[in-house]
Amino acid sequence: MELCIGAARLSSGNQTDHATELAIVDRCRKQDYEAFGKLVDAYQNRVFGFIRRMVSNPDEAADLTQDVFIRAFQSFHRFDGRCSVRTWLFRIAYNLCVDRARKNARSPSEVSLQGTTEIDETFDVPDARWQPDQIALDSEMATAIESAIATMSEKLRSVLLLHDKEDLPYEEIAQMVGVPVGTVKSRLFLARAHLQQHLRNYLQAEVS
């Protein structure tokens, strides 16, 4: 899929190194469209992939992805460099998904955690990661995983994607979603448990 923001095409690309990224950000602060296009190329696929799993409608996900980069371009003067550009973009993406949920009268604060109480204390989460690169070899399993992710609450789904897919640390996710680190860990634990249970049911159905 190709999206466009003005003259900047959103296409596949690789992330830039830190020094190059900082130089590009400095140019973006000066409204440099060419520099902005490089950031778009570097991050649009990952941002779209996150939003696509948070939003069921692909056209709406594409629109939100464009909104992320438009807002970023308009706000580079507020980017202080304390986090990476990637984290900053995902924070914008997350907030847009939250705003969308609220507009649909489904605020994340009202989304069920499937009957399980969250824990605000710090504890270790077993690293039973979702590993899409390995699972992608089995298209049916990949479909089962996407189905499981789609049935999660938005609270669980966002933490799973940000940590296991995008490899963001607990502390950055906690700041992004506005909860304690312990809550991030408890949501990640619940998300992984949900995913494992869904896949267990899938595998049992395949055997029978």
From first to last of its 208 residues, what are the pLDDT tens digits of the chain?
Answer: 344 343 333 333 445 577 888 888 899 999 899 999 988 999 999 999 999 999 888 999 999 999 999 999 999 988 888 888 999 999 999 999 999 888 875 544 433 334 344 444 444 544 555 555 555 556 777 788 888 899 999 899 999 999 999 999 999 999 999 999 999 999 999 999 988 888 887 777 666 5
CATH topology of domain 3-103: Rna Polymerase Sigma Factor; Chain: A (1.10.1740)
Separation of alpha carbons 62 and 76, rounded Å: 22
Task: Assign domain 111-207 to its CATH architecture.
Answer: Orthogonal Bundle (1.10)
Token code pair at residue 146? 């996407």
Name the residue ranges covered by the structural domains of the chain: 3-103, 111-207
Q: At what angle do helices 85-103 and 170-177 cross, to 10 degrees?
A: 40
Say what the pTM is: 0.72
Q: Which long-range contacts (CB under 8 A, 24 or more apart) does 126-131 make?
A: 126/189, 126/192, 128/192, 128/196, 129/164, 129/192, 130/160, 130/164, 130/165, 130/192, 130/195
